[in-house]
Amino acid sequence: MARARAFGRAVRSLLFACVAAALGAPSAQAAGGESVDQALCRLIEEAALREALPAAFLTRLIWRESSFRSHVVSSKGAQGIAQFMPGTAAERGLKNPFDPEAALPAAARLLADLQRRFGNLGLAAAAYNAGPARVDAFLAGRSGLPSETRLYVRLITGRSAEDWAAAKRGEKPAPGGPQAGKSGADKIFEADKPSEAKAGSDTSTAPEAERRTGAPRGFSDDGKSDYGKSDYGKSDDGKSDDGKSDYGKSSDGKTGDGKTCLGVVAALRQGEPALAGTAESPDFAPWGVQVAGAFSKSVALAAYGRAATRFAGVIGERSPMVIGTRVPGRGRGPFYRVRLPAQTRAEANALCASLHKAGGACIVLAN
């Protein structure tokens, strides 16, 4: 029974990252596979496209929530890469908040619903952080938003919550916000105002993603205002990409262009460390001891369960990392690996040596 409980706790602590292509193989990144950021960005961009959300908006929000760490639990109990509270996860039908393949699409669906309810992305972000009831009270003038939520909205969207509220009301930005005038700031919230165009009028001049999402002009893909010069939905040559993701165009993910998930993450890692998530949990382990792997997640977890039971004296209460990334030449489905985390190579080597001594199989690999 104790072993079953330990395994249950381990399975609930899933981490999605990128490492070796198979047990004993060189690292997947070195072999041309996905890196950690690439694997997560693929999921984010697919989820954003499915729900007609700007990929950069979803990227910045998820980064703010967890810094792309899938195993974190906040001091308030929010879980996983998208920081779902248990009650919200249950309401949304999310069975495992620690599984990015389930949590990221669920987060995108929730944000799309909140955007439809409140009218724009900024208020949707506020509701994701503070809850819809707090945003309703804020809009009705019954109470303000928590300081944490105000900072959250500004860091993700580049605008204040008051500006987004003013946009919902069809007003100009509130005093203290962007100044109207020749700078073009008047256009920032144009897309959020009630449409004055008559049926059948031509709206083709608006960027594609702006028409889909209601994102205000000037809210660029990196979440910062560019005063009416947003290039949402456009590729580098300025042409519409019809909402298609350009994930993976930069092999190293260091474009910093703010137009793709990888570009946003590169900018966040290189120049905006203050935007890192605040979830309280140990950081991602740089080393791992791989003990199981399969193209089926359930098969990989079952294999780990058998190892955890057989070698309970070695594995103990450790929570594994479940890693799923694509393998070059092996189709589009991810290969799942189960690893025990270690903070140093020496720690990983010692753990693997203990498993070998007990009759188990393992390999030490860098995450």
Radius of gyration, CA atoms only, the chain:
22
Q: Give the whole-angstrom CA distance, residue 251 versus residue 213.
A: 28
Closest by Cα among 323, 281, 283 to 301: 323
Q: DSSP label at 323?
A: E
DSSP helix/strand/coil, 212: helix
DSSP labels, 155-170: HHHSS-HHHHHHHHHT
CA distances from 169 to 120, 137, 163, 214, 261 (A): 11, 15, 10, 14, 31
Q: Which residues are catalytic?
A: 65
Provide the token pair at 2: 């104790």
Which of 36, 64, 61 is CA-nearest to residue 51? 61
β-partners of residue 363 are 290
Q: How far apart are CA 179 and CA 165, in angstroms?
A: 16
Which residues is 84 bridged to in the sheet?
Answer: 79
The candidate with the shortest Cα–Cα distance to 114, out of 105, 122, 106, 124, is 124
Cβ atoms of residues 328 and 343 within 8 Å: no
**Which tokens is 334 given?**
């991810």
Q: Which amino acid is at 51?
A: E
Positive or negative: CA dihedral 147, 148, 150, 155:
positive
**Distances in whole angstroms, Cα of residue 36 to Cα of each of 24, 48, 248, 341:** 19, 18, 12, 15
Phi, psi of 302 (to 5 degrees): -65, -40
